[in-house]
Amino acid sequence: MAERSNDVYDVSNLIGEINNLEGTSVAPDLNDIIELIRSEDVKIITFTGAGISTSAGIPDFRSENGLYNIIKSKFDMPNPELIFDFDYFKKDPKLFYCIAKQFIEVEYLPTKTHCFLKLLHNKKLLLRNFTQNVDGLDSKVGLSNKVNIECHGHFKTGHCLSCSKKYSYEEMKAEISNHDYITCNIENCRGLVKPDIVLFGESLPKTVFENLSKISEANLIIIMGSSLRVMPFNQFINFAKKETPYLIINNEDPLGGMALYSGKKYLLQLPCDEGIKKICELLNWTSELEEIYSQFH
């Protein structure tokens, strides 16, 4: 079940039995990571969040220009996360659909960071990408369903909450252009239709749990564009072996200087696309990255 965590970030949820966090260094020197990516047996797991899609024009949740602040001011709502709560959605779906409309109607394009994921995938270095994003850009860039685990679902399909009738993306797009929210078109049903994204209070898709064991096979974890505030996603990283190094690419340190576990922490505190450009330069992958990017832009 996806849960809101409190605004105060409680890192103890993530660290299990690890208690000596103070000494874990944040190393600005990326050479170790570059060497590891170059090595023959590298196996990478990525964890991604809304920050990898902001450069595509999609606001995240918690940044200054993010959805939470937009909702607070637009709808005068002190608890903007309510809009993404399943019980609230069932009572009043209009506000959710005001926000969801843009995910259904606007054709967003993959960013350099999505292209980097595709590059890792092409090179068979990516074991799995666990994403919190619902924008579908990781699959649009070409990650296979096997590799790309959409932990919070997607807008590609929807279902009626009453009779379970499935709706395609095209059907939802047509409906939402004329209505405040989508209802089932079966005469005797008229139930509420919800895109197949996971709202707060709903279970995560089965495929997430089927793939968690892969995380312990990784010898490099890369976390990009997430505040790591949403449970249980933020706890999945705990499935990594405790010696596995992890690289965080984010415009702030989501851990506030703390560590996730005893593996070495590398923080590249930059916009994701900038961090990716830097890594690709060091790996001599720039032209391959640009080639993928040019397929979309």
Q: Give contact residues for ligand CNA (rule: CB under 6 A).
A: 49-51, 53-55, 58, 60-63, 66-67, 132-135, 152, 225-227, 229-230, 250-252, 254, 271-272
Which residue, 42 or 52, has its beta carbon nearer to ligand CNA? 52
Minimal distance, residue 194 CB to ligand CNA, in Å: 14
Minimal distance, residue 204 CB to ligand CNA, in Å: 10
169's CB contacts (< 8 A; 6+ apart) are 104, 155, 156, 157
Q: How far is it, in rounded angstroms, from Cα 117 to Cα 62? A: 23
Which residue, 110 or 271, has its beta carbon nearer to ligand CNA? 271
Minimal distance, residue 189 CB to ligand CNA, in Å: 28
Which residue, 50 or 221, has its beta carbon nearer to ligand CNA? 50
Q: Are strands 166-168 and 153-160 parallel, antiparallel or unpaired?
A: antiparallel
Asked whether the CA dihedral 165, 171, 173, 176 is positive or negative, the reply is negative
Residue 70, class by beta-carbon neighbours within 10 Å (0-12 exposed, 13-18 middle, 19+ buried)? middle
Of these residues, 121, 152, 159, 179, which one is catalytic?
152
Instruction: Note if 297 is an active site residue.
Output: no
Which residue, 121 or 154, has its beta carbon nearer to ligand CNA? 154
Under a CB-based contact definition with an 8 Å cutoff, are residues 60 and 225 in contact? yes
Under a CB-based contact definition with an 8 Å cutoff, are residues 223 and 268 in contact? no
Minimal distance, residue 163 CB to ligand CNA, in Å: 26
> Which residues are known catalytic residues?
152
